[in-house]
Amino acid sequence: MGRPNLFHFASSELSQDAFFCWLASCADPLVIDPELRSVGRSFLDLLALKKDFTLPVLIESVSARRQVNKIDIVIEINHSIVFIIEDKAGTSEHSNQLRRYLDWAMEYYSGWQVLPIYIQTYLQASFQDVAEQGFGVVTRSELIQMIPGTCEDSVLNQFREHLVQLEAKYSAFVEGSEWDSYAWQGYLNRISQGIEHCGWSYVPNPSGGFYAAYWGWTVTEYGEMYLQVSEKQLSVRIQPSDGTSAETISRLYALALEFKGWSLPLQSKPRRGRTLNLVTLDLDHRKFDADGNIDVELTLNGLLSSSEKFKCFVSSLMGS
């Protein structure tokens, strides 16, 4: 084993909060180490850039604190500029927390330049809600680019190495040989970029849960229907409306089996639930090249083709 990485053990969001507070504090002019001061300044400039703001050339003071009124990180610059930072390491925003944090900061720091920032070092399906609440987003890849790969400081090196290793885990699906939870997230995130209005998330269930992508949401008289990739499997699913009986679901299942637009593998009848699998279109929708690597373009083409067939099937139901 080579040198153990501190951030493999200090992997919680609280540990990450501490690192970012330390990094911001390195930009203080009283810090003697020029490398630390330079990277600390680069970090603050990256945060400011996310809100289209330019920091003063001269930074006279930096104060970084954790858990201020439940805000992960608060960084005060020159007693006139403040970053409020929500820091995530795999989780996402919830409970309208960003809006509450920003409202508090705008009142508490009245007269200051308030810059709300959201940092995500892992993978998140969408940042739309974050942006709509006024927060600038800093991603893992941007942090990797910001920290030089030649730093002499051990802490900086280890944090960058930690992020690079995370990047490799999320990209492992490309070679098609490793399909752990990181690879599935990276894969679903990639295909969601090629399918309009496609989202993905972790789906918990009693057997342990799985990662899934979903798109094509269509409202019908029977309920809302959509396509779902649950890791390998591609399915047509339905969220039945209150008036949709078990008999109606059985009829939809029979219609799906008879639909000429697709060739289906062996099926099992739908089981009643809040949402249910109507039919499985493919047991493994992924496409690989001759070397066993995932062919993303070919895979996406197959999924888009299935989307068109799904639309035809739903249209056929409208006329039945």
Tokens of residue 179, six digits: 């399909």
Comparison of pLDDT for 63 and 243, the residue scoring more: 63
Comparison of pLDDT for 208 and 33, the residue scoring more: 33
Confidence at 320, pLDDT banded by 50, 70, 90 = low
215/225 Cα distance (integer angstroms):
9
135 in Cβ contact with 105 (< 8 Å)? no
Closest CA to 226 of 282, 128, 307: 307
266/122 Cα distance (integer angstroms):
37
Hey, what amino acid is at 245? S
Q: What is the DSSP string of 33-84?
A: -HHHHHHHHHHHHHHHHTTT----SS---EEEEEEETTEEEEEEETTTEEEE
Q: What is the pLDDT of residues 88-113, one digit of tens each?
A: 997 877 768 899 999 999 999 999 99
The sign of the torsion formed by the CA atoms of 11, 13, 18, 22 equals: positive
Q: What is the pLDDT of residues 71-86, one digit of tens each?
A: 999 999 999 999 999 9
Q: What is the pLDDT of residues 164-186, one digit of tens each?
A: 999 999 999 998 777 999 999 99
The pLDDT of 23-34, averaged and rounded, is 96
Q: What is the pLDDT of residues 119-171, one digit of tens each?
A: 999 999 999 999 999 999 999 999 999 999 989 999 999 999 999 999 999 99
Spatial neighbors of 73 by CB under 8 A, at least 6 apart, are: 17, 20, 21, 24, 64, 65, 66, 83, 84, 85, 87
Asked if residue 198 has pLDDT above 90, the reply is yes
Q: What is the 3-state secondary structure (H, E, C) of the chain?
A: CCCCCHHHHCCCHHHHHHHHHHHHHCCCCCCCCHHHHHHHHHHHHHHHHCCCCCCCCCCCCEEEEEEECCEEEEEEECCCEEEEEEEECCCCCCCCHHHHHHHHHHHHCCCCEEEEEEEECCCCCCCHHHHHCCCEEEEHHHHHHHCCCCCCCHHHHHHHHHHHHHHHHHHHHHHCCCCCHHHHHHHHHHHHCCCCCCEEEEECCCCCCEEEEEEEEEEECCEEEEEEEECCEEEEEEEECCCCCHHHHHHHHHHHHHCCCCCCCCCCCCCCCCCEEEEEEECCCCCECCCCCECHHHHHHHHHHHHHHHHHHHHHHHCC
The pLDDT of 5-31, averaged and rounded, is 92
Asked if residue 54 has pLDDT above 90, the reply is yes
300 in Cβ contact with 194 (< 8 Å)? yes
256/237 Cα distance (integer angstroms):
11
Confidence at 69, pLDDT banded by 50, 70, 90 = very high
Q: What is the pLDDT of residues 247-278, one digit of tens each?
A: 999 999 999 999 988 889 988 888 877 889 99
pLDDT at 272: 76
pLDDT at 4: 86
pLDDT at 240: 94
Asked if residue 319 has pLDDT above 80, the reply is no
Q: What is the pLDDT of residues 214-242, one digit of tens each?
A: 999 999 999 999 999 999 999 999 999 99
pLDDT at 6: 87
pLDDT at 230: 93
Strand-strand pairing, 276-282 and 210-220: unpaired
Tokens of residue 107, six digits: 């009142």
Asked if residue 2 has pLDDT above 80, the reply is no
Mean pLDDT of the chain: 93
Q: What is the pLDDT of residues 275-300, one digit of tens each?
A: 899 999 999 999 999 988 999 999 99
252/167 Cα distance (integer angstroms):
42
